[in-house]
Amino acid sequence: MIGRLRGVLLEKRAPFLLLEVQGVGYELEAPMSTFYVLPDRGAEVILYTHLVVRDDAHLLYAFASEKERELFRNLIRVNGVGAKLGLAILSGIEVESFTRCVQEGDTASLTRLPGVGKKTAERLIVEMRDRLFDGPREEMAGVLPRVGSGQVPTSDAVSALVALGYKSQDASRMVRQLNTEGLATEEIIRQALQRMLKS
């Protein structure tokens, strides 16, 4: 099992990363909560990972903190929640907010996340209650402050939202409603997800 990687960030295009570790390039998928705190390309970063082995592929998922990885691992143990939905949930809601929703039985907030219907929200609440952890969220480990990526922010943001499970039309609408001037891709995605959760 690959549990942690330290290397140079070569590419970042949500939700995909390419990390070079001693000459080996690892392809990773990560939630937006991790993208928000990533440094620019060429910087060194430490990421916590989870390996999923399927018949047709070995997929490596990356997280900025052990707490996010722990939540992801608990999410994919819930019936009907796969890795893609787990990433979408972590991208749309912070660990503490998710914990609060489960503890308070707040299905309304959970159903605002892409791919989470009422039945899935109810199942998450029932199955996750005993698995959640308490305490303040740890600092994101081993990452430097994020700086601009130099990509086309609005189109990259729409692509990332589609990859997270939103329909293309909805993703475009979410981004169009924002004042995106001068914003990096990650900030556009963050604001779009926050607006969606409040609607």
pLDDT tens digits for 11-46? 999 889 999 999 999 999 999 999 999 999 999 999
b/e code 36-63 from CB counts within 10 Å (16+ = b): bbbbebeeebebbbbeeeeeeeeebbbb
pLDDT at 198: 67
In order of 10, 161, 188, the CA distances from 183 in angstroms are 21, 16, 6
Question: Which residues of the chain form CATH 1.10.8.10?
Answer: 153-197
Task: Mention every residue, 6+ apart, whose C-beta is less than 8 A from residue 73.
Answer: 50
Are 33 and 64 in contact by the 8 Å Cβ rule? The answer is yes
Question: Which residues of the chain form CATH 1.10.150.20?
Answer: 66-134
Question: Which residues of the chain form CATH 2.40.50.140?
Answer: 4-63
Token look-up 């809601």 returns 93
pLDDT in tens, 126-179: 888 777 644 433 333 333 333 333 446 787 888 888 777 787 778 888 888 888
CATH of domain 4-63: 2.40.50.140
pLDDT at 152: 67
pLDDT at 133: 44
Could you give phi then psi for residue 143, rounded to 5 degrees? -120, 145
Peptide bond into 136 cis (omega under 30): no
pLDDT in tens, 48-66: 999 998 888 899 999 999 9
What is the average per-residue pLDDT within 55-80?
91
pLDDT in tens, 82-101: 999 999 999 989 888 898 88
At the topology level, CATH places domain 153-197 in Helicase, Ruva Protein; domain 3 (1.10.8)
Within its chain, how far is the Cα of 33 from the centroid?
5
Q: Which CATH architecture has domain 66-134?
A: Orthogonal Bundle (1.10)
